[in-house]
Structure 1
Amino acid sequence: MTTVQHQTDAAYDDPGKFRQRLLSGLEASIAAVGYRNTTVADIVRRARTSRRTFYEHFETKEACFVALLTASNAAVIREITAAVNPAVAWRTQVRQAVEAWIGCFESTPALTLSWIREVPSLGEAARLLQRNTMEAFIVMIQTLCDTPQWHKEGIGPVSRPLVIMLFGGLRELTATTVEDGGRISDITEVAVKASIALLGP
């Protein structure tokens, strides 16, 4: 998952940026003290705004957290899509996508860990978040694999069940690695090989 970009001080003066400021404040607090130890007071202090402004945008800290993770996932999808060159060999494209995936999550270790540890406690909000995240990644993977470069290798369209297996496996491998204190980059080769094996003709 990538860092939600912080706005400049000038942008902070724009009332339309308050939501982004709050998301950035939550992300900074997660990095400093973790999600569970973060309070609304911490978020507004780091966002340099007020509790009133917070509650104008979010009903609860959990709602702000879901919004942060949603924005982070959207940024991950953008980065992966941008990293893949549709003109190169399909196996190279797979490596580009996997390396971008890993790079995104390694760049925000605290947020990645909070995804693993905290999201399950959010109940229905977590289920909706996870479902929406999966759907977005399914669309991305199917789109990346639906190009002339893939078709000429006899690949595609990639089925939804296959993408779910691929996405679920990568996510679980990433989560297990982080939980065990490992480096996400250590899974690069096995993730590339597994993805090629699943997607290949």
Structure 2
Amino acid sequence: MTQETIPADPPPPGSARDRLLDAAEALIYAGGIHATGVDAIVRESGTARKSFYTHFESKDALVAAALERRDERWMNWFIAGTERRGKSARKRLLGMFDVLREWFASADFHGCAFLNAAGEIASADDPIRVVARKHKSRLLEFVRAQCDALAAEAALDARRAAPLARQWLVLLDGAIAVALVSGEADAARDAQAVAKSLLDTEASLATQAAITAVAKSLRKSAAKSVAKSARKSTAKATKPQATRRPPSRRASTD
């Protein structure tokens, strides 16, 4: 009677490097950088510890690489979700908060991985902080593109696009932070309400600026008209009058 051999569990799909990145991202996002050791990452990935040192020089290098990959995936997800919210820039900007709310309501939401990571790393020059900063720059760039489109669509002052984009990023990150701490997905709707007021204010400022510009143009046109009339009157008043020749004596005696 031969002894049956129990087959071993098949290795997880993907390369050892990909599995290490997957494990690092999942564990660090859920528990933090300092609370997650290399052994836990190796164990979760189903790889050998030797594989870790083959692909990464340190835990920080692994974390930075995992965050870079998350940045690409998160941005693709956020951009696609935003663009599905509407054809106008206003709808897309406000729709960003609806996209966030869906994320807040998911079971695996643990806040912004990049804000979380930056909060654990003291040095601004650390590769992990650099990746976090890059992510926020990419997000701001996307928001700025929508603000530029809004300025073109709604005839807003184009100079307002940059500050509006920065304010928008504060609302997005603020909603993420409140949702993480409170556990309330409706933090996105609260931020959206503030965002609507901000857009309405921008529209009101644009309307006032347009009215002021029209009034200024009318005043300038009226002033030109008055000045032109005054010049004509002055020219007429100073123009020498033609003198009539008196009748000749011969004509008067005939």
1:112-163 CA-to-partner distances (Å, cap 9, x unmatched) read: 276555432222324423321221011111223444x762222475633332
Identity of aligned residues (%): 23
What are the residue-to-residue correspondences of 1:46-65 with 2, within 5 Å?
Answer: 46-65=44-63
Aligned residue number for residue 5 of structure 1: none
Q: CA deviation at 1:178?
A: 1.4
TM-score, normalised by the number of residues in structure 1: 0.73
Unaligned runs of at least 5 residues, structure 2 = 1-9, 204-254
Return the index of the structure with the highest Cα Rg: 2
Q: 1:145 to 1:19 in 2, by over 3 A?
A: farther
Q: 1:11 to 1:96 in 2, by over 3 A?
A: same
Count of residue correspondences: 186
TM-score, normalised by the number of residues in structure 2: 0.60
1: CA distance between counterparts of 2:47 and 2:12? 14
SS in 1 for 2:186: helix
Higher relative contact order (CA 8 A, sep 6+): 1
Q: 1:105 to 1:134 in 2, by over 3 A?
A: same
Letter in 2 for 1:164: R
Unaligned runs of at least 5 residues, structure 1 = 1-7
Q: 1:86 to 1:186 in 2, by over 3 A?
A: closer
Aligned residue number for residue 103 of structure 1: 102
Out of 22, 25, 28, the residue aligned to residue 27 of structure 1 is 25
Aligned residue number for residue 71 of structure 1: 69
What are the residue-to-residue correspondences of 1:153-168 with 2, within 5 Å?
Answer: 153-155=154-156, 157=158, 159-168=161-170
RMSD of equivalent CA atoms: 3.2
Aligned residue number for residue 4 of structure 1: none
Letter in 1 for 2:189: E
Q: 1:177 to 1:188 in 2, by over 3 A?
A: closer
Aligned residue number for residue 188 of structure 1: 188
2: CA distance between counterparts of 1:114 and 1:144? 24
Q: CA deviation at 1:174?
A: 1.9
Q: CA deviation at 1:71?
A: 2.3
Letter in 2 for 1:45: R
Letter in 1 for 2:96: A
2: CA distance between counterparts of 1:86 and 1:186? 18
Aligned residue number for residue 94 of structure 1: 93
1:94-119 CA-to-partner distances (Å, cap 9, x unmatched) read: 23222223434554324x27655543
Q: CA deviation at 1:81?
A: 1.4
1:23-66 CA-to-partner distances (Å, cap 9, x unmatched) read: 21123334665543321111111111122221233232233223
Letter in 1 for 2:59: K
Letter in 2 for 1:82: A
